[in-house]
Structure 1
Amino acid sequence: MAQSPDLRPSPDALLKLAEREARGKLKVFLGASPGVGKTFAMLSGAKRLKAEGRDVMVGLVETHGRSDTAALLEGLEVLPRRPVAYKNRTLMEFDVDAALARRPDLIIVDELAHTNAPDSRHPKRFQDVEELLDAGIDVWTALNIQHVESLSDVVAGITGIAVREVVPDTVLERADDVVVVDITPDELIERLRDGKVYLPDNARRAADNFFKPGNLTALRELALRRTADRVDDEMVDYLRQNAIEGPWPTAERILVCVGPDAHSQAVVRAAGRLAHGLNAGWVAAHLDPIGRDAGDPNAMKRVDEALKLAARLGADVSRLSARDLPTEVLRYARRENITQIVLGRSRASWFKRLIGRSLSDEITRQAEGLAIHVVTPVTDKAPVFRWPRPLIKASAYIAAFVAVAIATGLSFFALNWLPPPALSMFFLAAVLLCANRFGTGSAIVAAILSFFAYNFFFIAPIHTLTIASPHELLALTVFLLVAVITGSLSGRVREQSDAAGRRIFQTQMLFDFSRKLSGTATIDDVLWAVASQTASAIKGETIVLLAENGELQIKAAFPPEDSVGASEWIAARWALNHREAAGLGTTTLPNAHFIFRPLTTPRGVVGVIGLRPGAAGLSAEDERVVEALIDQTTVAIERTLLAGDAAKAEAMAESERLRSALLSSISHDLRTPLATILGSVTSLRSLGGQMPKESQTELLSAIEEETRRLSQFVTNLLDMTRLEAPNLELKRDWVDLADIIRAAVARGQMAWPDRRVDLTIAAGLPLIHGDSGLLEQVVFNLLDNAHKYSPPDASTQVGVVERNREIIVEVSDEGEGIPPEDLERVFDKFYRVKHGDGRSAGVGLGLAICRGIVMALGGSITAASPIAHGRGTRITIRIPVPAAKAE
């Protein structure tokens, strides 16, 4: 019976299982607080495995002076710690490199939330553990519930103690086993009093602050709840992997809005807890109003830290830009199928509420079909009046004052010709000028100043702010409204125009970069283009490294650079091997001066790009531009690599074609003379005494002819191999070309005694600098070619003359000739001209050898056909005469 599609195992669950199988196994001993016995439980289990023959090592364990815990270390191999110098003292840290080199089956690494010493490869110990797991080593570790990142603020609210060392929730979620080590609060306090948790002085302070029954009970509940949630997740994974029917959780999706507020991280943690409790996916989005300046750099830093926290907690990160943020948030929620929105509510001052809308209030009012969660941190205090920060820059205030002053002066000048109501146009023009140049804030200030200036100087009674006539009050009020509205609209258009201009500039930059990449033919050109363009975009430095034979090599940098520091090399290799960013601003080797990002193509990671932003850092728009540049770079690199692969494939195909042609020709040209020789030898051996003398002579002549033919064929192959050698060095000497040609013709007459050769050599030929043996072989090959392609009764002409400081050798035959399209190709290896009967002679090496030798001597060789009456071929060789021997 066919299985229902609905009952098939979940692909996501199977992929998750496969990823776990490829890594080492992580077992976390989780406790509600220090002293519950996590380390004791780990070491006890390790000793049992050691007794069973398992390769177990203690990478790092903190005993905190507990004798019973220290006693469990006996019999276990302990990894030496790595000393690190820090502030005139030596810290003993876990040596991850030694652990990777030792590579045990199981390693114990205590205190997962520990912060490593500066200049370590990873800032946090849990990252060391991740590297061990990626290497296939099983790890046991210990963790207290207060160090789970999404719960750190909850723990701080319960205990009043801020937790600085935290571990991302994803580490706990990816653990293969979580063991809760639990005892009652009373037992724990009793252990504390007995000195089994801390030394006496520390124990007294802990009992007064942290180890209170209420605190311990709350922490115990958090640990048990988190473990229960994990057990539920494991059950769901098992059901999905095994296609077992059951009630699945509904597909909730949460959006958390991240702003520059001081409590934005608390909002993110609240959203993380909500998403974890609902088994829901979630997105953290920063809202960036269009037209607003970058603002307070500390606020932008808070935004970046909150987004990084959200990413560590498992959220997808996005950035939204719009003028109407509530509308954009709701539009994004509909587009991404968001079901719940988490917002932070700040108790803004009366002034801020007067000039702007509250995001949480607007979203709550406009939302339909969404659950809205508004988070108000406990630490948020009642609003205290503070003078508002200036909305616009001082230059905009000054510009508004100057513009109104100029408008007032012009109005005084035009007062003799224009009625007072018409003078308001000067002030309106000043408002529009400020709006167009400095934005909405400057326009509103100019409108207010214009209102008072116009009233004070031009509305009776003059030089007072009193208005005598009602219609003048109405006119002045209308003027103020018109000025404010037109100024606001004009300023908004200007701000939108500036934002559009920035986007056009970025789009044009990306377009120009794309065009530049499309015109690059080599990977070096691609890398230099991306290095210069990216450095310009981030107003800093860029370096590009590619992997060659497993090692990174610097291929391009802007400004030009041919070396980087040791920290940068380590970060670059980490980014390459782990396919994630490392270096400056990340959690891996943050002390490096560059942030390295992998260049990932469909064939894998081919290299990394290092970025070192300028003093201003990277804004959200810069980040998007850099990501687009990197994406285009990976496409261009893949294109050039594919082009190289295609060229190699074409070369291999051509090589295969030539190899097939060579094997075919060699087999034919070897088989024919060998068959003749074998037949002649067999006949002479079996019938030699019975054959007439003439028949024996004929067979011996055939053996001699075919042997000479084989010798010529082998000579051609050896000459071709010699000419194709990368370091060809010809033997050069002063030789008489006339003597060489006479020797070649005499050798040809011995080989072809029935063929007629007409030789014409001009008198007084100068000596040339060359290899006599190879030159004779050239002429012999040309004679062979002429005899092969001409009738038996035809003659071959050989002429030698000197003309224009060149010795010209011409070998002509009376054959059927060469087609015009083949005149150049006849000098290619293994190319043979088809005859009228469709057959071709030879292996196609003779003329190729001739061209190679002549060109090596600095000469040239060409073919012409037909030469007379539509028939015949002439091969012409031109060899320059050296100046020293020209006379």
Structure 2
Amino acid sequence: MAQLNRPDDGRPDPDALLAAFRRETSGKLKVFLGAAPGVGKTFAMLQAARRLKDEGVDVVVGLVETHGRAETGALLEGLEVLPRRIGDYHGHAFADFDIDAALERKPTLIVVDELAHTNAPESRHPKRWQDVQELIAAGIDVWTAMNIQHLESLADVVSRITGVTVRETVPDRVLQEATDVVLVDITPDELIQRLNEGKVYLPETARRATQNFFTAGNLTALRELALRRTADRVDDQIVDYLRQKAIEGPWGASERLLACVGAAEVSERVVRRAAQLATSLNAAWTAVYVEPVGHVNDATRASQLARTLGLAERLGADTTRLQGADYPEEILRLARRENVTQIVLGQSRAGALARALGRSLPDAIIRRSGSIEVHIVPHEKSEPARRFLPRPSFDPKGLGVELLAALGFVACAAAIGEALNAAVKLPNLSIIFLAAVVIAGMRFGTRAAVIASFLSFAAFNVLFVRPVYNFGVAQPQELFALLVFLGVSVLTGSLTGRARDQREGVIKNAEVMRSLYNYSRKLAGASTADDVLWAAAAHLHSMFGGRIVLLVAEGDDLELRAAWPPDAQLDATAMTAARWAQQKNEAAGWGTGTLPNVEFQFRPLLAARGPIAVCGFEPHAPDQPISGDEERALSSILDQTAIALDRVNLAREAVDTAAMQENERVRDALLASLSHDLRTPLSAIAGAATSLRALGDKMKPEERVELLSSIEDETARLSRFVANLLDMSRIEAGGLKVNRDLVDVADVVQGAAERSRKAFPKQPVRINLAPDLPFVRGDDKLLEQVLFNLLDNAHKYAADSGASIHGRREGDEVVISVTDEGPGVKPADLEKVFEKFYRGGRADGRKPGTGLGLSVCRSLIQLMGGTIAAQSPAVRRRGTRIVIRLPAAAPSAAARART
């Protein structure tokens, strides 16, 4: 056993700590695992849930199947059970788990039985284990139950043991990621006795079960599988604990597996066997498919390959596609690059001749693998070996065309040979037939070249080897020459056909690269996000043919920003899939495990800062999976689109930053202009004081009173300016302390109105307060200052019409509004008026004040836990209303304050 590489200071493994942190920040999964139905999983789960309920834990039963067992049903009494979702499928009503109700209820713990259950077709997720994963991601602890035969990697093993095909499975990673696994175990004899007593199924069903599935041998084998898998899970928990605590000990060397798959049925067994090995070794693994250059799978093989790769992904593998002619070399190159220690592949069906010539993939990999271990998975059934020349992988129509083409080229060669033989009498005309083979390979591929080789062999023998016009050979050397000609023609034709196939692959790749290059040029010239999105929609439509939609996050939702055709729309279910793709950073919709009935498949566009948009595309053939070439092209286009959108957003943010810097510069200039606003009242005060001092004895009494009033007014104005500046400085510095006492709103309003009447005796203040207005929590002096500032602001803009103060209660809030009948505020400026140094113009065009009054008001109200907003027009299509909302004090506190 090798030692784990860890820092010399004995620190805990950071990966183990990160995994533990992720488990702590999300919900926890507890699985009650059994070897077979009837062992008591649901009973044990409900017993434990009742104990937690008695301890005060918020426990809810999302769904439990009692199967008519009275003991299990009795345990549900006293537990909160969520109503099931009622739906209709092809005229049949069904009741299923309601995941939306569970998310809305959000208990501490929810019990969801039957983890491997398949949901109804119109459900959000096809499988219940996906519902459970969403609950865990929402921070809800989940308890569930399942039998060992439903584990994906063991499905074929259980099928061989019991003879029953397992159709509902759960990926192994779900059990691996579970926080706890509880094995509910009884002996096979006890389970059979429970069956006979009618505690599991009805008598007739129980009798059939004991004769088929529930035999002693089957139950013993299933029990061993459950015990082994639980033991592996316990071992994983011990390893995680030792890593988190930095406890020294022997550790297994890191293993990595590579599963070689294709379109054959044995590939699914290869995937499951690799998953079992990876689980037992705690190893990462990859499933790889090598695609021949220029080869295109038919619909059946493409569908089989997609199922195999999908199964590998569900079992926790990374999947990759390679392209090349030398399968062993491509596989081993990937294995060495990824530090693979073990390779798993299926048994070859090649015959003895093919193996001798190196045409067997397992034999070739074993010869070249070096220190890499190789596992060979046998076929399910014994089948005859394949021929050296593989069977055609194309349709009969294509084979007929190739046969006719080969016949035509050989007939032309024979005609030319007859003409030359009649005119010149050449000793050997085989080169003409070799030219026909080469031309057939260049035009129609390898199979046409091989057919032409055998036809040329026959034609040359019959027409130009003595005795002519029969298949006999007069001289031994002529027989040897014929065999050499056949070998050379087959080899030359094969190489020519392969070169043609590779040429077609290169041309196809070049077309894709040219298309991507043209698309990148379009993106380079796009200056806005809409330009990028419309270019992406048009390009994707030209490549894939179906409808394309592109959505961008706007606040907390997605907005359809581009589509091709432009009138394409999404229904509610499709929008749900799109939101899922954005929130979970994974594909959703058609061909995925989330809302697969949706016509579109949605994929997130991931930039450096996270998902930036969502692309939805409609497949041109919904019954066929996406080919490897289409997948690579789609991924490349989406990556380029994400980069372009990120670039556009960064450019926009740079412009916004520059605008903010310009605003700061303007504000600095406004601060500098404050000197003018402050000097104006100071100049008026100084002038009046100087006049009184120099000419006071010579002035009339009314003139002296006017000068003194001017001094008083300008002093009050200056005092308000300075107070606002000081308040704003204290607020921004965090030095302003706000009391949270009980405040009588009526007293504060009266105080502010009296201050306003003294400061502006010619401008009326009208008060309208609701009776029994409740107290609020706040600072009475600061609230009075806010109202006075609002009255001051209203008097500046409302001329002689004055202002009105209204107070009322709305729910749990007290609403105070100050209204004027001035010219009002533009809708675009309703938020700007609360910004520092923003100053609206008077009717005469002058800019009054410092632009701090309303900014100070908003800051003070927010410190008291309230809100403030502007409305315009207010009355008779003019004027402005400033609305303050403060939380009302509790009735008991208000009653004590009045007492």
TM-score (norm 2): 0.74
**What is aligned with 1:676?**
683
1:158–1:215 Cα contact (<8 Å) kept: yes
**What is aligned with 2:885?**
none
**What is aligned with 2:342?**
340
Q: Show CA shifts across 1:373-407 (max 9, x none).
A: 00114x32242899974366322221111111111
**What is aligned with 2:270?**
267
**What is aligned with 1:447?**
453
From 486, 491, 495, give the equivalent of 2:501.
495
From 320, 324, 343, give the equivalent of 2:322.
320
In 1, Cα distance between the equivalents of 2:646 and 2:271?
A: 38
Relative to structure 1, the CA distance from residue 674 to residue 491 in structure 2 (aligned partners, 3 Å threshold; closer, same or farther) is same
Helix, strand or coil at the partner of 1:319: strand
In 2, Cα distance between the equivalents of 1:115 and 1:46?
A: 24
User: Residue 688 of structure 2 aligns to which amino acid in structure 1?
Assistant: V
1:174 positional shift: 0.9
1:5 positional shift: 4.0
In 2, Cα distance between the equivalents of 1:571 and 1:117?
A: 17
Task: Map 1:9-48 onto structure 2 (within 5 A).
Answer: 9-48=12-51
From 655, 668, 674, give the equivalent of 2:663.
655
**What is aligned with 1:375?**
377
Helix, strand or coil at the partner of 1:260: coil
**What is aligned with 1:149?**
152
1:54 positional shift: 1.4
Task: Map 1:620-769 onto structure 2 (within 5 A).
Answer: 620-664=628-672, 666-689=673-696
**What is aligned with 1:606?**
612
Task: Map 1:218-229 onto structure 2 (within 5 A).
Answer: 218-229=221-232
Helix, strand or coil at the partner of 1:415: helix
2:612–2:646 Cα contact (<8 Å) kept: no
> Identity rate of aligned residues, in percent?
52
What is the RMSD of the two structures over their aligned residues, measured on CA atoms? 2.8
Q: Show CA shifts across 1:848-868 (max 9, x none).
A: x99xxxxxxxxxxxxxxxxxx
User: Residue 136 of structure 2 aligns to which amino acid in structure 1?
Assistant: L
1:197 positional shift: 0.8
**What is aligned with 1:7?**
10
Helix, strand or coil at the partner of 2:563: strand
In 2, Cα distance between the equivalents of 1:352 and 1:495?
A: 22
Helix, strand or coil at the partner of 1:688: helix
1:487 positional shift: 2.2
**What is aligned with 1:812?**
none
Relative to structure 1, the CA distance from residue 641 to residue 416 in structure 2 (aligned partners, 3 Å threshold; closer, same or farther) is same
**What is aligned with 1:549?**
555
**What is aligned with 1:539?**
545
**What is aligned with 1:81?**
84
Task: Map 1:799-818 onto structure 2 (within 5 A).
Answer: none
In 1, Cα distance between the equivalents of 2:462 and 2:251?
A: 74
In 1, Cα distance between the equivalents of 2:598 and 2:515?
A: 29
1:470 positional shift: 4.0
Q: Which one is further off, 668-677 or 508-517?
A: 668-677
In 2, Cα distance between the equivalents of 1:349 and 1:80?
A: 61
1:39 positional shift: 0.7
**What is aligned with 1:879?**
none
Q: Which one is further off, 549-558 or 164-173?
A: 549-558
**What is aligned with 1:308?**
310
Task: Map 1:168-317 onto structure 2 (within 5 A).
Answer: 168-294=171-297, 296-317=298-319
User: Residue 566 of structure 1 aligns to which amino acid in structure 2?
Assistant: A
Helix, strand or coil at the partner of 2:323: strand
User: Residue 420 of structure 2 aligns to which amino acid in structure 1?
Assistant: A
1:528–1:557 Cα contact (<8 Å) kept: yes
1:420–1:459 Cα contact (<8 Å) kept: no
In 2, Cα distance between the equivalents of 1:99 and 1:105?
A: 11
1:186 positional shift: 1.0
User: Residue 276 of structure 2 aligns to which amino acid in structure 1?
Assistant: R
**Between Structure 1 and Structure 2, how many residues are aligned?**
701
1:9–1:242 Cα contact (<8 Å) kept: yes
In 1, Cα distance between the equivalents of 2:409 and 2:541?
A: 40
In 1, Cα distance between the equivalents of 2:424 and 2:659?
A: 87
In 1, Cα distance between the equivalents of 2:277 and 2:385?
A: 31
1:198 positional shift: 0.9
In 2, Cα distance between the equivalents of 1:405 and 1:605?
A: 63
In 1, Cα distance between the equivalents of 2:358 and 2:35?
A: 45
2:403–2:448 Cα contact (<8 Å) kept: yes
User: Residue 525 of structure 1 aligns to which amino acid in structure 2?
Assistant: D
Q: Show CA shifts across 1:195-233 (max 9, x none).
A: 111111211111111111111111111111111111111
User: Residue 383 of structure 1 aligns to which amino acid in structure 2?
Assistant: P
1:645 positional shift: 0.7
Helix, strand or coil at the partner of 2:429: helix
Relative to structure 1, the CA distance from residue 231 to residue 205 in structure 2 (aligned partners, 3 Å threshold; closer, same or farther) is same
1:546–1:606 Cα contact (<8 Å) kept: yes
Greater Cα radius of gyration, structure 1 or 2: 1
1:519 positional shift: 0.9
In 1, Cα distance between the equivalents of 2:231 and 2:430?
A: 73
1:191–1:197 Cα contact (<8 Å) kept: yes
Helix, strand or coil at the partner of 1:677: helix
From 128, 135, 139, give the equivalent of 1:136.
139
In 1, Cα distance between the equivalents of 2:463 and 2:70?
A: 91
For structure 1, the residue ranges without an aligned partner over 5 or more in a row are 711-842, 851-887
1:354 positional shift: 8.7
2:549–2:568 Cα contact (<8 Å) kept: no
TM-score (norm 1): 0.75
2:613–2:642 Cα contact (<8 Å) kept: no
**What is aligned with 1:751?**
none
User: Residue 341 of structure 2 aligns to which amino acid in structure 1?
Assistant: T
1:351–1:388 Cα contact (<8 Å) kept: no
2:306–2:625 Cα contact (<8 Å) kept: no
Q: Which one is further off, 458-467 or 71-80?
A: 458-467
Q: Which one is further off, 531-540 or 520-529?
A: 531-540
Helix, strand or coil at the partner of 2:405: helix
1:420–1:458 Cα contact (<8 Å) kept: no
Task: Map 1:446-595 onto structure 2 (within 5 A).
Answer: 446-595=452-601
**What is aligned with 1:59?**
62
In 2, Cα distance between the equivalents of 1:375 and 1:256?
A: 10
In 2, Cα distance between the equivalents of 1:618 and 1:431?
A: 36
In 2, Cα distance between the equivalents of 1:6 and 1:212?
A: 56
Q: Show CA shifts across 1:58-94 (max 9, x none).
A: 1111111111111111111111111121233211101
Q: Show CA shifts across 1:595-616 (max 9, x none).
A: 1111122222222111222126
Is 1:162 paired with 2:165?
Answer: yes
**What is aligned with 1:70?**
73
Is 1:619 paired with 2:621?
Answer: no
Task: Map 1:316-465 onto structure 2 (within 5 A).
Answer: 316-348=318-350, 357-377=359-379, 379-383=380-384, 389-390=391-392, 393-394=398-399, 395-421=401-427, 423-465=429-471
2:349–2:386 Cα contact (<8 Å) kept: no
In 1, Cα distance between the equivalents of 2:663 and 2:436?
A: 78
User: Residue 650 of structure 1 aligns to which amino acid in structure 2?
Assistant: A
Relative to structure 1, the CA distance from residue 390 to residue 68 in structure 2 (aligned partners, 3 Å threshold; closer, same or farther) is same
1:349 positional shift: 6.1
2:278–2:285 Cα contact (<8 Å) kept: yes
1:352 positional shift: 7.1
Q: Show CA shifts across 1:458-509 (max 9, x none).
A: 2322211222234444443443333333322222222211111111111111
**What is aligned with 1:870?**
none
Q: Show CA shifts across 1:97-140 (max 9, x none).
A: 11111111111111100001111111101111111111111111
